[in-house]
Amino acid sequence: MLHQFRTAQGEIEVTVAKQGDVWHLGEHQATVEPDGRLLLTMASGLKSYATAAKVGDVWWVHFEGHTFCLERIEPGASQSGDEGGLVAPMPGKVLDVLVEIGQSVEAGQTLMVLEAMKMEHRILASNPGQITAIHFTADEQVQQGSVLLEMVDDES
Amino acid sequence: MVSKVLVANRGEIACRILRACREAGLQSVAIYAENDSKSLFVELANQAVLLEGDSITTTYLNQEQILEIAASTGCDAVHPGFGFLSERADFARAVTQAGIQWIGPSPSAIERMGDKMTARKTMRDAGVPVIPGEEIEEEDEQEALTAIQHASTRVGYPLLLKASSGGGGKGMRAVERPEDLLNAAQSARREALAAFGDGRVYLERMLTGSKHVEIQILADRHGRTIHLGERECSVQRRHQKVFEEAPCATMSEELRTAMGKAAVAAAMAVNYEGAGTVEFLLAPNGEFFFLEMNTRIQVEHPVTELVTGVDIVREQLRIAAGEPMSCGELHLRGHAIEVRLYAEDASNNFLPAIGPLAVFQPPEGPGIRLDTGVRQGDEVTPNYDPMLAKLIVWAPSRIEALQRMRRALDEFVVLGTITNLRFLRELCDVPEVIEGATDTTMIDRLWPDGWSPSIPVEIEDGALMAAAVSESSGLHRQSNSSTESNEYSGPVSPFMTLNRRYP
């Protein structure tokens, strides 16, 4: 079966097939254990258990001391584009907005200050550009992923 | 007498204290906010009372409400844990005035040590060396900023701005260059004001290459004030400790005696009672300077417990009841290491993370202790501190303790929320950590552009295979309909491949 996953590095297609009780991926093999874990036998001879759990569309996998988040891309799903919005990295509260609409900013300039878990986090401009929209004011709560401000990068 | 203890805290430390109460045969009362009603600590108490309110201020920081609950449930003692109200002298005083035993030092000891400026003066007077620095007494924003600028020229760069009534890295800023001072000062004052209700800061010379070494002390009402040796907590990120050990790898018996003596002097200078920690910076030349005294139980107390055999929380309960501490002459035995498991993305500037703990399987086996306030199925929310658990190992030697920690971290499975597990695991392989040559700037120095995990291709392939097989087998649906079988058999396909498309 073909599956597509989105990882931190990019998108990956994985095709696995089953023969008897054993799943194959190239030279690697896997069996599903009664407790839901997977016993993997890798091509190198490494034999170890993996634990997996699905939360939403994401498969979380623990294998050999490493933890992976693998977002399953539903077949036919369209890609979400990056539209230059600056999003909240976590839920929290806006402490300060340091720019205005139309203002030109330099790369690295602090645009907004957020507070979450009692720590301050600065939202910085990654490129020089111009602020086109500001969606929150001080003291407002923001959700993770909320678009805080929008800007257009200067033409280089 | 102490017979019924209200634990004015939540999470991991509340669990630790509530368990100690049960072991000591004491009744216990937990208090909890609405969003904690399913939390582990609520289960561990004999009685649990809901705090009204929907913010930390109106719940865990609400002195009046907590005092009312203590009175109405007939508690004769309050244990504050750490954080929250633990270092609030006014709360300790209110508790005492209500005729309830405060499990900790006197309000005046908290006051004198809690205010960092007063603490520095007290320590100087007691002959304990302090770091060169200056206090900024001005409360008005403009006046304070001017005073900070003047003081900076005398203290010198690099310098640290710290919140006067702070802790936990909040309100703290390292300033390398004069041109960064104003911004840092404004932000430190703002953060300090938000976190502690007090925007005052002080400036301190940053001593580079130093170790953070702290001494655990215990003092009872029978004239005994002792130290339980040191902990080294140099490995910090954003001024928060992540890796702590006892003893310190480079400690000599001579230096331990000197630092222990200074710590005991510090405690006696304020007529200390109960458990406390005196923090020092230990410079490479063996000079040490007083940093601050924490007048409460400390997050990393377990490493001291493991190498001394003293149950510090039980001693706190004993001392508060007016009994003499039970520990006799101390001998350090073996080596203990603690790591703090945080819900945070170590590869993205240690940003806090949230999510469900879909799987939470701690390691087991000899020499392993887990102090936690969560269990599988819990939700990590942005409401509270992102620390999920403390994993502590003990072994006969430091090398074996590191080996045990590596094994334990490899076994630890947390799925559903991003944690710093892998970061902690890689820390155990850092040459500085292996050699014990850690200092407070190590993490920033090792990973100036941020940390990212090194993942062998074979391990990633295994994970991808596990996800694909789990998806194909419908494992995520198994809990509801275990009879469903959508497996299909067929010949081994030539297309059983990985296809990476990196941008």
> How does DSSP classify residue A53?
E
A22 reaches B (C-beta below 8 A): no
State the pLDDT at residue B135: 81
State the pLDDT at residue A74: 79
Q: Which residue among B10, B296, B340, B422 is the active-site one? A: B296
**Cβ pair B463:A42 closer than 8 A:** no
B399 reaches A (C-beta below 8 A): no
CA distance B318 to B309: 16
State the pLDDT at residue B499: 64
A5 reaches B (C-beta below 8 A): yes
Q: How far is B380 from chain A (nearest CA, A)?
A: 12
Please count the residues of chain B. Answer: 503
Amino acid of residue B396: P
- Is the pLDDT at B307 greater than 70? The verdict is yes
Q: Pick from B384, B418, B462: which is nearest to A40 by CB?
A: B462
End-to-end Cα, chain A, rounded Å: 45
Residue A104 and residue A145 share a domain: yes
Q: How far is B490 from chain A (nearest CA, A)?
A: 6
Domain boundary among A47, A72, A97: A72
Q: A18-41 pLDDT, tens per residue?
A: 999 999 998 999 999 998 899 999
**Cβ pair B455:A66 closer than 8 A:** yes
Cβ neighbours of residue B252 closer than 8 Å, sequence gap 6 or more: none
Task: Look at residues A123, A8, A108 and name the one whose alpha carbon lies nearest to residue A66.
Answer: A8
Q: Is B337 left (phi over 0), alpha (psi -120 to 50) or beta?
A: beta
- Is the pLDDT at B421 greater than 80? The verdict is yes
CA distance B116 to A137: 34
Q: Pick from A18, A64, A120: which is nearest to B487 by CB?
A: A18
A14 near A24, Cβ under 8 Å? no
**Cβ pair A119:B465 closer than 8 A:** no
**Cβ pair B384:A95 closer than 8 A:** no
Architecture of the CATH domain B132-205:
2-Layer Sandwich (3.30)
Residue A49 counted as domain residue: yes
A76/B257: higher pLDDT = B257
- Is the pLDDT at B209 greater than 70? The verdict is yes
Going by pLDDT thresholds of 50, 70 and 90, the confidence category of residue B497 is low
Q: For residue A121, give its domain range.
A: 85-153
What share of chain A has pLDDT > 90, as a percent?
40
CA distance B318 to B26: 11
Tell me which residues of chain B, numbers 376 to 395, contact chain A at a CB-CB cutoff of 8 Å. Answer: 382, 384-386
State the pLDDT at residue B192: 85
B480 reaches A (C-beta below 8 A): no
CATH number of B4-103: 3.40.50.20
Going by pLDDT thresholds of 50, 70 and 90, the confidence category of residue B73 is very high
State the pLDDT at residue A80: 39
Mutate to test the interface with A, among B496, B500, B502 (most CBs of A within 10 A): B496
Q: How far is B297 from chain A (nearest CA, A)?
A: 21
Which pair of tokens denotes residue B142? 């403009």
Of the listed ranges A87-101, B47-61, B277-291, the least confidently predicted one is: A87-101
Residue A91 and residue A53 share a domain: no
CA distances to B136, B151, B163, B175, B201 from B198, in Å: 12, 20, 8, 21, 9
SS3 B114: helix
Which pair of tokens denotes residue B214? 């702290």
- Is the pLDDT at B490 greater than 70? The verdict is no
Structural domain total, chain A? 2
> Which residue ranges make up each domain of chain B?
4-103, 132-205
Domain boundary among A72, A98, A132: A72
Strand partners, B180: none
Considering only CB atoms, which chain B residues are within 8 Å of A88?
none
Identify whether B238 is a catalytic site residue: no
**Cβ pair A18:B472 closer than 8 A:** yes
Instruction: Classify the C-alpha dihedral A90-A92-A96-A99 as positive or negative.
Output: positive
State the pLDDT at residue B489: 39
State the pLDDT at residue B502: 54
- In this prediction, the answer to ipTM > 0.95 reads no
A116 reaches B (C-beta below 8 A): yes
Going by pLDDT thresholds of 50, 70 and 90, the confidence category of residue A125 is confident
**Cβ pair B472:A3 closer than 8 A:** yes
State the pLDDT at residue B417: 96
**Cβ pair B359:A53 closer than 8 A:** yes
User: What rounded mean pLDDT belongs to chain B?
Assistant: 91
State the pLDDT at residue B483: 35
**Cβ pair B453:A66 closer than 8 A:** yes
Residue A80 counted as domain residue: no
Q: Read off the CATH number of the domain in which A137 is found.
A: 2.40.50.100
Q: B232-289 pLDDT, tens per residue?
A: 999 998 888 999 999 999 999 999 999 999 999 999 999 999 999 999 999 988 999 9
- Is the pLDDT at A84 greater than 60? The verdict is no
Residue A101 and residue A45 share a domain: no
CA distance B260 to B132: 21
Residue A78 counted as domain residue: no
> How does DSSP classify residue B476?
G
Q: B349-368 pLDDT, tens per residue?
A: 899 999 999 999 999 999 99
Residue A46 and residue A104 share a domain: no
What share of chain B has pLDDT > 70, as a percent?
94
State the pLDDT at residue B494: 45
**Rounded average pLDDT over B486-490:** 39
Report the predicted TM-score, pTM, of the whole model to 2 decimal places. 0.81
Size of interface A-B (CB pairs under 8 A): 217
- Is the pLDDT at B340 greater than 50? The verdict is yes
Amino acid of residue B493: S
Q: How far is CA B310 from the centre of its chain?
A: 19
**Rounded average pLDDT over A28-57:** 94
Tell me which residues of chain A, numbers 49 to 68, contact chain B at a CB-CB cutoff of 8 Å. Answer: 50-55, 59-68
Check for a shared fold between B4-103 and B132-205: no
